[in-house]
Amino acid sequence: MSAARQKLKSARRIVVKVGTSTLSYGEGKLNLYRIEHLIREMADLHNAGKEIIFVTSGAIAAGIGKMGLTKKPDTIPENQALAAIGQGVLMHIYEKFFGEYGQTMAQLLITKNTATDEHARENFHNSLTSILKMGVTPVINENDAVSTDEIKIGDNDNLSALVAGMSDADALIILTDIDGLYNGNPKTDKNARLISEVPKINSEIERMAGGAGTKLGTGGMFTKIQAAKLAAEKNIPMLIISGKEIGNLRRALNGEEIGTIFYKE
C-alpha cells in the first residue's frame, strides 16, 4: 500500500463531504437509501474510534423537492430561501438516522468569514472541538441563506477543504457521482483511465478536471481540484470516491485502492 493510502487508513479525524448528486435524485427528491447507508457507515466508523466530520450539500436540492419544484430557480434569493427550507428537511432526516444508530449530531452553518476572520475561526474551532469531545458528529454546510458574494464560499468542495484545515483533520474524503479523476471523459472515451494517486497538481491534472457539475450540485471536478490544493497546503490527503456504491467509505478507510487520492509528496 502506498504511503498516502496508509495515511488515509490510519486517519483518525476525517472530514467526509457528500455532494448533492449522491444525496438526491436528479429532480430534487432525496435518495433516502443512500443517506441511510451513509449515516450507518459514519455511525459505525464512529463506533470504531474515528471522528467523522460530515460536510453535507443537498440543502437546495431538498428545498426544491419539498416545494415540488424540479430545478433550481434563477434568482439568488430564491435559492437562499430553498436552502433555508431544505437545510431543515435534511437535518430532520439525518437526526433520525443518527438517532437510530444511537448517535447524536450537531449542525454547524459557516461562511467564508469563518475561515478568514481570526475570531470566527477560533470560535468555530472551539465549538467543533467541544462537539467532538462530546462524542457528537458535526454536520456542516454553508450558511447559504445569509451568504452574499463577499462571504460566500459557493461550493462545498472548497468548504470541506477549509473545514479540514480548520479542524486539524487527518484526511478529507469527497463522495461524488464519479469514481475519481480520469485522464479523459469516461462517458465518451472508452480508453479513459482512473488515476489512483496524484502527488502533485500540475496543469495536466487541471486540464483533466475539465468543467462544471450537475443540474442540482455546483461542484464538478474543477472545484475538487481546488479543494485538493487547499488540503495539500495543510498536508491533508484528499480522496475522491464514488458515493453511488454503498460501502465505499469503509472500503477506502480499510485501505482499498479505490478513487483518486491527492497528497503532498
DSSP state of 138: E
Provide the minimum distance between the beta carbon of 265 and ligand GLU in the complex, in angstroms, as a whole number. 28
Q: Which is nearer to ligand GLU, 4 or 138 (CB)?
A: 138
Binding site for ligand GLU (CB under 6 A): 20, 57-60, 83, 141-142, 144, 155-156, 217-219
Q: How far is CA 105 from CA 22, 24, 162, 240, in A?
A: 20, 20, 20, 24
- The answer to whether 65 and 149 are in contact (CB under 8 A) is no
Query: Cα(first)–Cα(last) distance of the chain, in Å?
Result: 15
Provide the minimum distance between the beta carbon of 112 and ligand GLU in the complex, in angstroms, as a whole number. 12
Q: Which is nearer to ligand GLU, 4 or 86 (CB)?
A: 86
- State how beta strands 105-110 and 51-56 pair: unpaired
Q: Which is nearer to ligand GLU, 57 or 167 (CB)?
A: 57
Position of minimal CB gap to ligand GLU: 59
CA dihedral sign of residues 184, 177, 5, 13: positive
Residue 129 grid cell: 472541538
- State how beta strands 137-142 and 105-110 pair: parallel
Provide the minimum distance between the beta carbon of 218 and ligand GLU in the complex, in angstroms, as a whole number. 4
Q: Which is nearer to ligand GLU, 41 or 142 (CB)?
A: 142
Measure the CA–CA gap between 187 and 207, rounded to whole angstroms. Answer: 17
Residue 259 CB contacts under 8 Å (≥ 6 apart), including other chains: 179, 180, 196, 239, 240, 241, 242, 248, 252
Q: Which is nearer to ligand GLU, 79 or 137 (CB)?
A: 79
- The answer to whether 253 and 229 are in contact (CB under 8 A) is no
Provide the minimum distance between the beta carbon of 260 and ligand GLU in the complex, in angstroms, as a whole number. 18
Q: Which is nearer to ligand GLU, 83 or 171 (CB)?
A: 83
- The answer to whether 8 and 237 are in contact (CB under 8 A) is yes
Provide the minimum distance between the beta carbon of 49 and ligand GLU in the complex, in angstroms, as a whole number. 29
Provide the minimum distance between the beta carbon of 131 and ligand GLU in the complex, in angstroms, as a whole number. 20
Provide the minimum distance between the beta carbon of 162 and ligand GLU in the complex, in angstroms, as a whole number. 12
The residue behind cell 459505525 is: 44
Q: Which is nearer to ligand GLU, 141 or 167 (CB)?
A: 141
